[in-house]
Structure 1
Amino acid sequence: MSTVLSKIEHHVAYLSLNRPEKFNSFNREMALALQQELDKCMRDDDVRAVYLTGEGKAFCAGQDLAEAVDPNGPELRSIVHGHYNPIIERIRTIEKPVIAAVNGVAAGAGANIALACDIVVAKESASFIQAFSKIGLIPDSGGTFFLPRLIGFQKASALMMTGDKVSAEEAERLGMIYKFFADDAFEEESRKLVQNIAQMPTRALGYTKLALNQTFKNSLTQQLQTEEDYQHASGQTEDFGEGIAAFLEKRKAVFTGK
């Protein structure tokens, strides 16, 4: 059975990490499979949003340590360079919204892959753990980049050094995630969110994402120019024309992602 399950419904690509007996911890096979699925989402014009979750009780417990310590397996540098870095790059460069639906524990690389997504929602019973310090490693998968920007340097530093568990409720309070939902409402509410996003003007959302990527490095003047450029590009889309027509005609816009 595939280590990443995938299906497309109503313009949403549903991707599910599928090693539930290992709490969806990553091995090489699953890392490469997720890269391939994200590539397919990038190329497929029918896909207008991506929903990433996990099978079973966990979202993702990070790296499968059995592979990391296997003398015949990949070394740590190879795992980070070949497995995780390409996943983060794909999540941030695909010009479509990627929603992480955290259905259980998200630890180590699993937590940081979720935090790299555009929108993160979680079950009330889910938790986030920067587990690296507990085994003598540093946070990878973009953790040292995204977490300080989400919750501030001091809090991020403490969570990374202590390895403390963060509940979904606290993660929302800190600004680490967008929302948490009660366990019995999680699937319905998270799918409703991604389905609504998939009906939005996809190219404008993609340009929004690219502009947000650049704000981490740009000066104000540079970011204003970035906004100007992407606003011009958005104004050339069919969805802009539809949005204006719907506004003038006092009706709901029907966007096509073009």
Structure 2
Amino acid sequence: MYETIQLTKDGRIGHLLLNRPKSMNAMNGKMMKELADCFESLLQDSTIQVLIIRGEGRAFSAGGDIKDMMDPSNPMDIDLVMKDVSRLAKSLYTLPQITIASIHGASAGLGFSMALACDHIIAEESSKLAMNFIGIGLVPDGGGHFFLKERVGVPKAKQIIWAGQTLKAHDAMAKGLVDEVTAEGRAFEHAEAYAQEVLASPVRAKLASKHILHQLKIDELEQMLNMEAAAQSAMRKSEDHLEGIQAFVAKRKPEFTGK
């Protein structure tokens, strides 16, 4: 059904696997669309009450696929892509399931925005978490501004976005960005244990509380997604973005000029 992701069901638990391991599950246009379609399909699925999201291979997700962005033979239509990214973020935030991000390796850029949208975030102590759009002259997308602000408030969200640094799991937990840190290789095991805890609890009451807390925020999230899309479209045309991308590919330090 999907090429870049896999959705499987085990009783009341859904498992969503990001499945581009050769690219460290970096998200190309197809994956963004498939994730949006998948989350939208789960909006109507009352048989699943918990959803665990994880990555195949060495990482959760390295973020947007920069090689895909730079492919001259098939240039990425940023406005079309941003529509799928916005659909992805809104449907994930409003899912009628308890969502668990099981993170190992890298969770960066859009991959980190997606993790932050989940209800419970588990990261292995060796994982690397980064809201690193600033390094290539871009702004967070996928609701990154919104989900950061919800977790840590506006002043800290700005500092994290502007710094663009890579955080170890314990540092991320100290900042309020993850809920649980596990030993290397144990995140999925802990995610499954947490899922079983949820299913053994009055899960309908938990989902009702999630609905109440999230419902009032949907208009704000939609506004923020529209602003992110407009800003990202503008930043993609900036000199700093071009310099950031070229420096990334050449593995050198970028020289930004504020243009």
Question: If the TM-score is normalised by the length of the shorter chain, which range does it land in?
Answer: 0.7 to 0.9
2:129 match? 128
Q: Deviations over 1:220-244 (max 9, x none)?
A: xxxxxxxxxxxxxxxxxxxxxxxxx
Distance across 2 between alignment mates of 1:188 and 1:217: 32
Asked whether 1:45 is paired with 2:46, we answer: yes
Q: Tell whether the 8 Å contact from 1:96 to 1:205 is kept in structure 2 after alignment.
A: no
What does 1:66-81 correspond to in 2, within 5 Å?
A: 66-71=67-72, 72-81=74-83
Q: Percent identity?
A: 29
State the 4+ residue runs in structure 1 displaced beyond 4 angstroms: 214-218
2:162 match? 161
Deviation at 1:216, TM superposition (A): 4.8
1:6 match? 7
What does 1:178-193 correspond to in 2, within 5 Å?
A: 178-193=179-194
What does 1:76-87 correspond to in 2, within 5 Å?
A: 76-82=78-84, 84-87=85-88
Q: Deviations over 1:144-164 (max 9, x none)?
A: 112123123333222211211
- What is the identity, as a one-letter code, of the residue corresponding to 1:140? D
What does 1:95-106 correspond to in 2, within 5 Å?
A: 95-106=96-107
TM-score normalised by L of structure 2? 0.77
Count of residues in correspondence between the two structures:
217
Distance across 2 between alignment mates of 1:175 and 1:149: 10
Q: Tell whether the 8 Å contact from 1:120 to 1:178 is kept in structure 2 after alignment.
A: yes
Describe the shift of the 1:202–1:141 C-alpha distance in structure 2 as closer, same or farther (beyond 3 A).
same
Distance across 2 between alignment mates of 1:195 and 1:121: 15
Deviation at 1:217, TM superposition (A): 8.4
- What is the identity, as a one-letter code, of the residue corresponding to 1:173? A
The unaligned stretches of length 5 or more in structure 1 are 219-258
Deviation at 1:209, TM superposition (A): 1.3
Q: Tell whether the 8 Å contact from 2:46 to 2:96 is kept in structure 1 after alignment.
A: no
Q: Tell whether the 8 Å contact from 1:101 to 1:190 is kept in structure 2 after alignment.
A: yes
- What is the identity, as a one-letter code, of the residue corresponding to 1:74? M
Describe the shift of the 1:199–1:8 C-alpha distance in structure 2 as closer, same or farther (beyond 3 A).
farther
Deviation at 1:97, TM superposition (A): 0.9
The unaligned stretches of length 5 or more in structure 2 are 220-259
Deviation at 1:34, TM superposition (A): 1.8
Distance across 1 between alignment mates of 2:26 and 2:71: 15
SS in 2 for 1:138: coil
Q: Tell whether the 8 Å contact from 1:98 to 1:119 is kept in structure 2 after alignment.
A: yes
CA RMSD of aligned residues (A): 2.0
1:177 match? 178
2:199 match? 198
TM-score normalised by L of structure 1? 0.77
- What is the identity, as a one-letter code, of the residue corresponding to 2:36? Q
- What is the identity, as a one-letter code, of the residue corresponding to 2:142? S
